[in-house]
Amino acid sequence: MKEDLFNYFITDNKSGKKCTESWLSKNNFELCNKIINWCDINNLSNLEFKRKVYHYVSNCIEIPVCLNCQKEVKYKRFIDGYQKYCSSFCQNNCKIAKGKWLESWKNGNSNNEHIINRNKTILEKYGNFEEYKSYLQKSVKKTCLEKYGVEYVTQTNFYKEKRKEVLLEKYGDDKFNNPDKTRTTRIKNGTQINDEVIEGFSDYKKVVMNRTITIYRNNKIIINPKNLKRSKKEYHIDHLFSIKQGFLQNIPIEIITHPCNLQMIYYKDNLKKQDECWITKDELLNNIISYDKNIEFKHEYLKESYSNIIEIAKSLF
């Protein structure tokens, strides 16, 4: 944040005139030019001028997206910047279950304290992670039996209906499924998150996806050197070590979103791959430790949180 300029633009500017190109070019031509140039350099040429002013003063290169769904958000005014959410739906959805969790990620968890502490608590209480996992699975079954009379939520009718809806919307086919890979066996194998912890997983995934896009944008040349087209029915960004395993094995966001864990994948292959991993955790950690390309970070806070990435990787073996 450029403090002096921030004060300049909030002083005597109730009408917002200072943030218009016509006023600024008349009254502070040099600054006006600086802002336009800076935006051109940073790929923000298409923004309306008042938003350019905001981006320039707050050193913000990325256009913010909804914290809940990653869709575009509205720009409010200079002093507030962008809205955090695209809609009140997203805001409520985020607030009730996930707001605090996300805040803690943003505020203090880039250094992975959260995960380290959580692991410590689990070890103290259960002795090892296997024990913890089996405890979780047992308690999920128990709750489910009491609530619905079946061991897994997936066996209930409302789940089956809901799933059909989701599949129809997502794949255009309400039966899209790999029949020999039912959810139940996947839970048993530890490759599927069970419902008891799915709140945590969806939060984890959301943060990972968001960060992945940022890392991708900053390092497109490394991750997508052939400049393949990214879209729903073309290429996707894929995590070699999957997000789901990342969550199950408490892998920090910085590790799972490291450029060496990202590749472009044709969407059909991505559907086939589902949540499986191309590499093992140890391979991923080794790749990070021996990584020799320069990773770009346009945000200071990101640069900071990845600065000790090798140490973090070493500590995870």
Query: Which residues are near Zn ion by CB under 5 A?
Result: 66, 68-69, 71, 86, 90
Nearer to Zn ion, 71 or 77 (CB): 71
Query: Nearest approach, Cβ of 68 to Zn ion (angstroms)?
Result: 4
Query: Nearest approach, Cβ of 199 to Zn ion (angstroms)?
Result: 18
Residue type, 188: K
Distance CA 179, CA 218 (A): 39
Nearer to Zn ion, 92 or 117 (CB): 92
Q: Compute and round to an integer the Cα radius of gyration of the chain.
A: 23
Distance CA 236, CA 228 (A): 9
Query: Nearest approach, Cβ of 10 to Zn ion (angstroms)?
Result: 28
Nearer to Zn ion, 66 or 264 (CB): 66
Query: Nearest approach, Cβ of 80 to Zn ion (angstroms)?
Result: 17
Q: Can you tell me which residue has the tokens 């990972």? A: 208
Query: Nearest approach, Cβ of 62 to Zn ion (angstroms)?
Result: 16
Instruction: Compute φ and ψ for 159, nearest 5 degrees.
Output: -65, -45
Nearer to Zn ion, 89 or 135 (CB): 89
Query: Nearest approach, Cβ of 15 to Zn ion (angstroms)?
Result: 30
Distance CA 236, CA 239 (A): 10
Query: Nearest approach, Cβ of 168 to Zn ion (angstroms)?
Result: 22
Distance CA 167, CA 177 (A): 9
Nearer to Zn ion, 73 or 193 (CB): 73
Nearer to Zn ion, 64 or 190 (CB): 64
Nearer to Zn ion, 86 or 316 (CB): 86
Nearer to Zn ion, 170 or 303 (CB): 170
Query: Nearest approach, Cβ of 66 to Zn ion (angstroms)?
Result: 3
Q: For residue 4, give the H/E element and its range.
A: helix 3-10
CB-based contacts of 28, cutoff 8 Å, min separation 6: none
Contact 279, 243 (CB under 8 A): no
Query: Nearest approach, Cβ of 90 to Zn ion (angstroms)?
Result: 3
Residue 250 CA: distances (Å) to CA of 115, 256, 315: 7, 10, 12
Nearest 10 degrees: Cα torsion 249, 244, 237, 307: -30
What letter would DSSP give residue 61? -
Residue type, 95: K
Q: What angle do CA 226, 227, 233 make, to 5 degrees?
A: 110
Residue 249 CA: distances (Å) to CA of 119, 136, 159: 10, 14, 26
Nearer to Zn ion, 66 or 253 (CB): 66
Tokens of 257: 């979103």
